[in-house]
């Protein structure tokens, strides 16, 4: 509704309590995504004047309407698989290949070949891929993904740099790869690095820019510096978020000393996480000694982040928003795994079977990581 807050916050879903409960009454479990919230996040990133081009990392949420919305908002699209490329092409009518970036990892050579044939920007992150397939890359333009040496992020599984990470070209290989590219007429048009996901320290991206900038002398044809994604979000209204102003200022300093460089960024989570909620009905409640459990209609098959990374998502009883917390309960799904937990020891109001539980900030890496484990269908998706 027009008069309501424009982006998701506790205030947003509180104001939408009734329509959301009604939707969950007929379609539990379900994800709901809110496009105005995505717009709010896009506008925040667009205010970073240092960034010349934003690619949305479609792996975070590849719902066709969300991809299309990004395209409508002049956001380019980053993809990591033929499936994502196909989804983007289908969802974003009229999208040009040069608005798409292909950044796979350990993918078969034919995927690179296809992406180059289609005219996408292609990022390479393994010297052997080039050395083993000169016929594919000769006379082509590529972006090289370098390993900045140090990964960051909310969990070790999402840190993507350093010697124990499978991603990126180590600094020790740079000179050789530069020479090989020159010898084989492979034009390196840009350098890229992505150090991890869920990062709240704004100095991460200026540091990456500095590192890539220091490598530019090896690649005289490179005009693009892509500092990756990984921008973290506030899980709760009271949390500290990223300092976007400080981030912009530091990147502007980088641009001042590298005036001919085009600066790219490829965020996923930042653009979509806040836009989504997962709703599911309470199936059963249980007491074991003094421990309370609230069971809901879906679990790790719809949202694996708590099980996989110990990720924390705000969980509320949407049917009883105005009631005080009365007890502590662990919110669980119906899967046959002890790890099928969505939130541990949460303060909850007295909760009954049939109540709607809402799990917040699930617009990123929710539905895209869902599975049919136990042959339970994961949550359906709706866009409003």
Give the footprint of ligand LLP on this chain (CB under 6 A): 57, 60, 103, 158, 160, 194, 197-198, 228-231, 266-270, 305, 364-365
Check residue 320 and report its DSSP letter.
G
Coil vs helix vs strand at 71: helix
Do residues 101 and 194 lie in contact, with contact meaning Cβ atoms separated by under 8 Å?
Answer: no
Rounded distance between C-alpha atoms, residue 226 and residue 210, angstroms = 11
Give the residue among 188, 152, 189, 149 at the shortest CA–CA distance from 169. 149
Coil vs helix vs strand at 172: helix
- Which CB atom, from 278 or from 329, has the smaller least distance to ligand LLP? 278
Residues in CB range of 285: below 8 A, 6 or more apart: 292, 293, 294, 295, 329, 351, 352, 353
- Which CB atom, from 207 or from 281, has the smaller least distance to ligand LLP? 207
- Report the DSSP pairing between strands 341-348 and 327-332: antiparallel
Give the residue among 269, 329, 343 at the shortest CA–CA distance from 299. 343
Least Å from the CB of residue 277 to ligand LLP: 16
* Token duo for residue 97: 């290949």
Strand-pairing partners, residue 295, are: 284, 332
| CA 107-116-89 angle, 5° bins | 85
Give the residue among 142, 152, 208 at the shortest CA–CA distance from 180. 142
Least Å from the CB of residue 284 to ligand LLP: 28
Q: What is the set of active-site residues?
A: 336
- Which CB atom, from 304 or from 318, has the smaller least distance to ligand LLP? 304
Q: Which residue of this chain has its Cβ atom nearest to ligand LLP in the complex?
A: 268
Query: Would you mind telling me the total number of residues written for the chain in this entry?
Result: 384
- Which CB atom, from 45 or from 130, has the smaller least distance to ligand LLP? 45
Least Å from the CB of residue 354 to ligand LLP: 30
- Which CB atom, from 55 or from 218, has the smaller least distance to ligand LLP? 55
* Whole-number Cα distances in Å, 46 to 41, 267, 355: 9, 12, 39
Least Å from the CB of residue 323 to ligand LLP: 31
Least Å from the CB of residue 335 to ligand LLP: 18
Least Å from the CB of residue 232 to ligand LLP: 7
- Which CB atom, from 198 or from 292, has the smaller least distance to ligand LLP? 198
Rounded distance between C-alpha atoms, residue 234 and residue 50, angstroms = 22
Least Å from the CB of residue 77 to ligand LLP: 12
Check residue 184 and report its DSSP letter.
T
Q: Give the rounded distance of the alpha carbon of 237 from its chain centre.
A: 20
- Which CB atom, from 166 or from 350, has the smaller least distance to ligand LLP? 166
């Amino acid at each position: 509704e027009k008069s309501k807050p424009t982006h998701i916050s506790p205030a947003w879903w509180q104001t939408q309590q009734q329509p959301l409960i009604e939707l969950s009454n007929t379609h539990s479990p379900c994800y709901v995504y809110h496009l105005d919230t995505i717009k709010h996040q896009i506008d925040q990133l667009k205010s970073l004047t240092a960034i010349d081009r934003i690619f949305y990392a479609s792996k975070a949420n590849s719902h066709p309407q969300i991809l299309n919305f990004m395209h409508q908002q002049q956001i380019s699209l980053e993809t990591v698989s033929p499936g994502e490329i196909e989804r983007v092409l289908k969802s974003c009518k009229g999208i040009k290949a040069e608005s798409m970036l292909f950044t796979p990892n350990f993918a078969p050579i034919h995927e690179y070949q296809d992406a180059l044939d289609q005219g996408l920007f292609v990022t390479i992150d393994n010297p052997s891929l080039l050395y083993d397939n000169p016929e594919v890359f000769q006379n082509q333009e590529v972006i090289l993904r370098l390993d900045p040496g140090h990964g960051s992020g909310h969990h070790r599984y999402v840190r993507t740099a350093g010697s124990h990470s499978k991603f990126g070209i180590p600094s020790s290989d740079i000179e050789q790869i530069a020479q090989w590219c020159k010898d084989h007429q492979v034009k390196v048009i840009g350098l890229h690095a992505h150090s991890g996901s869920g990062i709240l320290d704004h100095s991460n991206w200026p540091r990456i820019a500095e590192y890539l900038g220091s490598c530019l002398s090896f690649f005289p044809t490179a005009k693009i510096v892509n500092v990756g994604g990984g921008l973290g979000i506030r899980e709760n209204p009271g949390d500290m978020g990223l300092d976007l102003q400080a981030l912009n200022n530091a990147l502007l300093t980088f641009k001042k000393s590298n005036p001919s460089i085009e600066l790219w960024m490829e965020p996923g989570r930042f653009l979509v996480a806040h836009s989504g909620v997962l709703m599911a009905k309470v199936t059963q409640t249980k007491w074991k000694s003094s421990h309370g459990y609230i069971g809901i209609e879906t679990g790790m098959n719809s949202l694996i982040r708590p099980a996989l990374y110990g990720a924390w998502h705000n969980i509320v009883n949407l049917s009883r928003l105005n009631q005080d917390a009365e007890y502590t309960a662990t919110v669980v799904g119906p899967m046959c795994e002890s790890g099928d937990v969505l939130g541990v020891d949460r303060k909850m109001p007295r909760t009954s079977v049939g109540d709607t539980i809402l799990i917040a900030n699930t617009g990123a890496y929710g539905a895209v990581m869902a599975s049919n484990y136990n042959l339970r269908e994961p949550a359906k998706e709706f866009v409003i």
